Amino acid sequence: MRTDTLFYQLFNAFHSLLFELIERPISEAEGYEFSSVEVKEKAFRFDGIFIPKAKDKPIYLIEVQFQQKEDFYWEYLSEIYLYLNQSRPEQDWKAIAIFARRSYEPEPRSHVQEMLNCQRILRVYLEDLVDRETDSFAINIIQLILSTESQAVTMARRLGDKIEQENDPEIQEQVLELIETVLVYKFPKLNRQEIEAMFTYSDLKQTRVYQEAREEGEQRGEQRGLQLGEQRGLIKGQATMLLRLLNRKFGQISPSLRGKVNKLSAKQLENLAEALFDLETIADLSDWLKTKGKAN
């Protein structure tokens, strides 16, 4: 499962997550702004950067790795120094390498080991969080990401029950959308209705995707028109969710591309969701829509 965009969402929703992972006080998250920064020359892109407003706090340069990659540190160091050369920041910096499992980390060479020894590069292994008891919704989402398919449905329902106790509607919505997104990645062959069926009815009623589908359906009038509208509303909900992910990956996409995505059928939207993490640039998205997004 490709996870760059998902972790962008997690860090964007929960600024404290990075500091939980590197076991620093959550209070240190105050005063940071999070963004995804592309290093221009070779189109390297960090999975995220925490940039402090104050000069006495370090910049955190984040990379998340969910598969084995022997040249990981070579590329990571290239990203870091290209970014430093372009940005010339006044603050100090630290690199945070987040591995799903220890086995995904390549053997550090001597120059990398020196940076590890002086804690210029910090490592986090997400597998250490699998069995942790926690009240953190962000850590719960990571546990869901690392779960097996057989575990995921039960974990998602349990987390859905837990979020019902949350008093902040914005956090409720963020967590429910993240749960939906993880399940979409884990079960790409399931349609939206089957994904939604994994939630309790009260959870589902709160999700933006369901509400948009409902509103679309209610505008149709007669029973037959209502059913058609409900179906179109679900498609609109899929398109809305995909557009949100595309904006987070590429920045605000153009009205022209947005219009093309909104015209896709349910099947084409599912195909685009599966292809999403193989698309590296806006040009790739445009080519996909031209070749595979045409009306059947």
Higher local confidence (pLDDT), 57 or 36: 57
Q: How confident is the model at residue 90 (pLDDT cuts 50, 70, 90)?
A: very high
* DSSP-derived secondary structure for 96-118: EEEESSGGGSPPPPHHHHHHHHT
Rounded to whole angstroms, how far apart are CA atoms 165 and 175? 12
Higher local confidence (pLDDT), 252 or 82: 82
What domains, with CATH codes, occur in the chain?
4-146 (3.40.1350), 207-292 (no CATH)
Report the SS3 class of residue 165: coil
Q: How confident is the model at residue 215 (pLDDT cuts 50, 70, 90)?
A: low
Cβ–Cβ < 8 Å for 178, 10 = yes
Report the SS3 class of residue 144: helix
Residue 203 has a pLDDT of: 47
Mean pLDDT for the chain overall:
80
Q: Which two tokens stand for residue 24?
A: 């620093």
Is the pLDDT assigned to residue 296 strictly greater than 50? Answer: no
Is the pLDDT assigned to residue 44 strictly greater than 90? Answer: no
Is the pLDDT assigned to residue 233 strictly greater than 70? Answer: no
Mean pLDDT across 259-276: 81
Residue 226 has a pLDDT of: 40
Q: Which two tokens stand for residue 175?
A: 């967590």
Burial class (CB in 10 A: 0-12, 13-18, 19+), 62: buried
Mean pLDDT across 179-190: 78
Residue 41 has a pLDDT of: 55
* DSSP-derived secondary structure for 199-267: S-HHHHHH-HHHHHHHHHHHTT-SHHHHHHHHHHHHHHHHHHHHHHHHHHHHSSPPHHHHHHHHT--HH
